[in-house]
Amino acid sequence: MNNHSDMTETFSPSLRWLITNPFFLCIEIIFIYFIINLEFSYPDDLFFGNLILLVFASIYFLLNFSPITSIQTSLIIITVLIQTVFSLNDIETSYFFFPSLLIVSQMFFGFRYFIRSKIIVNDGLLFFKSNSFSCRDISVESRIKTIGRIFGFGELIIHHNDEEFILAGVEKPIEKRRILIDNFRLKPHPQKANWSGTIVLFLVCSLILISPIFFIWIFFYSYLSELSLLSRILCSTVITLLLTILILNIRLPRVNKDPASDIMGLELVNTGMWTQIFQWNELLVVKQLFRCGWGHNNYNGHKAPIIGKKMCGKWNPIALVIMHNLMLIYQMIGVHRRKIYEHHIDAIPRTYTIPGRKFRYLQEYVSKPLNLENMPEDINVQFILLNKQLERSGLFIDDIHAGNVRINSDGKIRLVDGELYTDGEVLIKNFLVNGIDDRLDGMEKVLGCERIIRWVDHRVSVDDLLKQR
């Protein structure tokens, strides 16, 4: 662990937070006032206009985008009240007066937060606004909400006794949290993944992907209006299925350049189903995930509406591109979760993402494979502890066969691969994997640990190795 207590580090909101929070909020307000004026003749008819503003303020408050959300929603409510008072007293104002006043006040408080909100760490002390704390007395966590994940920022939360202090709009909050823990000795604050995880986002994306199929069906159902009801439904369904299959089999070119071409000079350590692993240095390996058409190209063991062989290469069916990219996305979500929970789950090796490389990351090199020679005597105890730590974190980890477990120099297990899922995500994941992948014979617990799962296939399991011992 590094000790940089004599150095100064400053953490502050990013410029993109300023653009996506108060600035974008002001654009939304302008749009709402435009609609109000268009539909309800604002300011002559205030009732419906004020109702729309109040509903918007309530939704915005519930979404809770930042620490100033309460101020932002209060400003909207105050504007509604003042508009009402002016209207009841027949006080005439310009159409632009209240919208302009609301926008100016929103930008003022946004800029105020942007300029004044900083975490400064120096000489064993942490300063946030008018507060100062000893680094040893506080803990830190990172939080990334959906909107922040889209625009690349999140929150740092400082905990002192029962109080919490939030700094919003921080770029790469997970990395910043790691700096505070490793370099300035802040304690990692316990974090637990919410039940749903990415389910909402997954369902929204699924609806977007499926919606064209629905519209195609509606089009043909309307077009075939001269047929009987049963014939319309049957013909529309058949035509839609055929068109969908044809569309999904349209071939798209792969990326021109092998994503791993710049690291091919390094020593190749291993090749997995989705990954090439190279020796970066004595302490780290670099993992490159395959893009569609590179590396793992065989999908013949998967259920997919593909005409002919289910293989990827220079040209790839849209259906396989979607499947492959979905797996890549969830693998990278798992990588980021490894970074978040590395201080809470001992068996997770250190992981580092690489700026500008979406599907490449560095990982702590764990030298020994799990085999009969290297197997720790207390391996059962270590897996039970891992299961407890996963439970406290609200996570499952899957694909834990013997090859994904390695042993460090202290005889401790390290899970060098396997995806992390929340309680809700694992239900959908199990359904999809069992329904799509014909190569699997199901899933089972590793050493009886309910949150550590392996896919039942040809690969050697931890349980098999333990039986051999």
Which among 322, 347, 365 is the end of a domain? 365
In sequence order, which ranges of 342-446 are alpha helices (DSSP H)?
379-393, 423-436
* 3-state per-residue secondary structure call for 304-340: CCCCCCCECCCEEEHHHHHHHHHHHHHHHHHHHHHHH
CB 276 within 8 A of CB 333: no
Domain boundary among 337, 365, 393: 365
What is the C-alpha separation between 88 and 91, in angstroms, rounded? Answer: 8
Cα 279 to Cα 75, 148, 186: the distances in Å are: 55, 33, 31
Structure tokens that stand for 188 in this block: 């990692």
- Report residue 121 as tokens: 């760490």
21 and 105 in a single domain? The answer is yes
- Triad 142, 148, 149: Cα angle to 5°: 85
Is residue 459 a part of any domain in this protein?
yes
> How much is the pTM?
0.85
**The predicted structure's pLDDT at residue 1:** 45
Q: Is the same domain home to 105 and 3? A: yes
The whole-angstrom separation of Cα 346 and Cα 325 is: 30
Identify the domain containing residue 296 by its residue range: 254-365
Mark which of 345, 365, 385 sits at the end of a domain: 365
Q: Is residue 215 part of a domain?
A: yes
Residue 383: give its domain's CATH number.
1.10.510
Mark whether 273 and 412 lie in a shared domain.
no
Residue 175's pLDDT is 93
Same domain flag for 15 and 140: yes
Sort 319 into a burial class: Cβ within 10 Å, 0-12 / 13-18 / 19+.
buried
Would residue 182 count as lying in a domain?
A: yes
On whether both 339 and 409 belong to a single domain, the answer is: no
CA-based radius of gyration for the chain: 27
**Residues facing 363 on adjacent strands:** 285, 351
Domain count, the chain: 4
Residue with tokens 């030298």: 367
> Which secondary structure element, helix H or strand E, spans residue 33, and what is its range?
helix 24-40
User: What are the tokens at 330?
Assistant: 């969830």
Residue 314 sits in the same domain as residue 351: yes
Question: Which residue has 């349209």 as its token pair?
Answer: 250
Question: How confident is the chain (469 residues) per 10-residue block, as mean pLDDT?
Answer: 67 92 93 79 70 93 91 96 86 85 96 95 93 94 80 92 94 94 94 90 88 94 93 96 96 92 93 89 95 85 88 93 90 92 95 89 95 94 98 95 95 95 90 79 92 92 92
CA–CA separation, 282 and 267 (whole Å)? 12
Q: Do both 78 and 136 map to the same domain?
A: yes
Does the residue 148 lie in any domain? Answer: yes
Domain membership of residue 460 (yes or no) is yes
In this structure, are 148 and 42 located in the same domain? yes
194 lies in a domain?
no
Count of all residues that appear for the chain in the document = 469
Same domain, 319 and 380: no
Q: 42 lies in a domain?
A: yes
The answer to whether residues 380 and 463 belong to one domain is yes
Statement to judge: residues 299 and 443 lie in one domain: no
396 and 301 housed in the same domain: no
